[in-house]
Amino acid sequence: MVFAVAALVRPEAPILPALLHLGRLLHIVATERAVAWRALGQSAVAGVPVALVLMMLTGWRLAYYGDLLPNTFHAKTGAAGFAEGVEYLRAHASAHPGVWLLLCFGGVGCWKDRRSTAMAVATVGFLVYVASVGGDFKPTGRFLLPVMLWMTTLGALLGAQRSRRVQIGMAALVFGSTLACLPSVYASAADWAERRHANLEARRIVGEFLRNQLPPDTLIAIHSAGAIPYYSRLPTIDMWGLTDHHIARAPVPEHTVGLVGHQRGDPDYVFGRAPAIYLPEDKVFTLRAWELEPELGFPEHFVDEYSSITIPLEGRFLNVWVRRGFLRTLHSGK
């Protein structure tokens, strides 16, 4: 039932119970083949709650999205490669070596026990899945949270079967490597939190400025369609496609400005909708005035239709592209 509820939160959640039962069945086939069919039936029964939730969820998705999966699934998958995913795992291992050491320890004797085999297959399978989707752009390791408990438990189960001397050695290695990395991990997390807070505050200022200065029906375009659209309350074209049906299914442009999960785009489609203002991902709110340059991949006629303007705002400068004629129309009150 826990996995059934998890399916409501993350579309990949059903992978976990499927991998757990696969590991269980593999162990049974290898050690007790005579009861394999009965075990398969038990796994099928255990999957009924998840299947029922998925059926209801799929019906709701079809009714609400008109699709089997939410728009963000299409927008965030299929762009990054396996190499990016492997680098994501490597970065997590370098920051949390103790967790990965426990996984390696647990992998040594996992086949001796059905429970350990199930956890090992589920953990390794999920790690392969995370690598296959390219990982994540945030340095928080959030995609690995569902299996980190299993990674550590596998090592603990193996340690419980070893001598006192081996247990002490394992504990010393795990705690020592973890403590050695703790200062850098803490500093990185603190820096990330500080930068994200500053970014949010800057985008709040920009969003509230736009809300106070522009008509409520002004169409804007932006890649990071989060805080600025929220505070501005203006209709927005999400240029990475998380909330745009067309862009979510568009190919990744040759010149993309996004990180993993934020790489799709279609500039011709975006500017074909004639947004009044385009807020660039970089240099939108700076310490000095910045004359913007057209980005790679934009329509050839972009500079004929948009002008770069800079607006002093609370000790900084807001740099945006404005559709030609929009300000004149705005000032005329039409």
Handedness of CA 279, 284, 289, 291 (dihedral sign): negative
Note the residue count of the chain: 334
H/E stretch holding 323 reads strand 316-323
Give pLDDT tens digits for 281-306. Answer: 889 999 999 889 998 889 999 999 99
Its pTM stands at 0.82
CA torsion angle 262 263 268 269 (round to 10)? -40
CA angle 98, 103, 104 (to 5 degrees): 95
Q: Residue 172: is its pLDDT beyond 60?
A: yes
Q: Residue 230: is its pLDDT beyond 60?
A: yes
Cβ proximity of 126 and 143 under 8 Å: no
Q: What is the mean pLDDT of residues 224-230?
A: 94
The whole-angstrom separation of Cα 294 and Cα 296 is 7
Locate the domains of the chain by residue range.
2-161, 195-332
Give pLDDT tens digits for 309-319. Answer: 999 999 999 99
Cα 211 to its chain centre, rounded Å, is 29
Residue with tokens 């803490």: 186
Q: What is the mean pLDDT of residues 218-247?
A: 95
Handedness of CA 144, 150, 152, 154 (dihedral sign): negative
- Identify the pLDDT of residue 80: 63
Q: Residue 73: is its pLDDT beyond 60?
A: yes
Residue type, 23: G
Q: Residue 333: is its pLDDT beyond 70?
A: no
